[in-house]
Amino acid sequence: MKVCFTTNNSHKLQEVKEIVGDSIELLSLSDIGFTGEIPETHETLEENSLEKAQYIFNRFNIPVFSDDSGLEVKSLGMKPGVHTAHYSGSRDAVDNMTKVLSEIQGENDRTAQFRAVMTYIDGSGNAQQFEGIVEGSIALKMSGAEGFGYDPIFIPEGHSKTFADLSSEIKNQISHRKRALSKLVGYLQNNS
């Protein structure tokens, strides 16, 4: 089964390929000849995920899934949330992490979660959404070289190291994206 994953992010694509394995033939946006930007105009992960999937489905009429994910920090009112990728005003990961660390400085409650919402649209245009959450906390400082985005400041529950200090194998077993993807893959296997 061929399904397009709506991302231009090579790290995210690689992570998803490692999680999905051979169960789905994953096509990237470049594989289908799309090089533009996909709009994300909404204020929730659910709406943005659906918008991205519909945008590609409407143009290419192929099964597609998209994700929108965000870091939600309890003491920041669940921010950055939908604005995770450009929280500092740019897409620079270090700037984004620096802003979160600065805003949470002095807070006793460093509880946070990564949340992913996947939207799958089948060949008939029917949409289905799947959510994955990994709970954890914000580290005192950046640590680690693995992963991408906010991985150097997020410590997943049950671990003492950040996502960026953990191997991709461990991260891919417990990540929010893995949890949402597992639900999606299960749905595809039961409905194909």
Residue 23: pLDDT above 80?
no
Q: Are 157 and 134 in contact (CB under 8 A)?
A: yes
Q: Which residues are catalytic?
A: 68
The full set of domains in the chain, from first to last, is 2-190 (3.90.950.10)
Eight-state DSSP code of residue 175: -
The pLDDT of 55-74, averaged and rounded, is 96
pTM over 0.85: yes
Radius of gyration (Cα) for the chain, nearest Å? 16
Indicate whether 14 pLDDT > 90: no
Query: 66: buried, middle or exposed (CB in 10 Å: 19+, 13-18, 0-12)?
Result: buried
Tokens read off for 163: 């996502």
Q: How many CA atoms lie within 13 A of 168 on its CB side?
A: 12
Taking CA atoms, 69 is separated from 23, 24, 31, 44, 62, in Å, by 23, 21, 23, 10, 23
C-alpha–C-alpha distance, residues 112 and 187, integer Å: 28
Tens of pLDDT, residues 130-164: 999 999 999 999 999 988 899 999 999 999 999 99
pLDDT tens digits, 157-180: 999 999 999 998 898 899 998 999
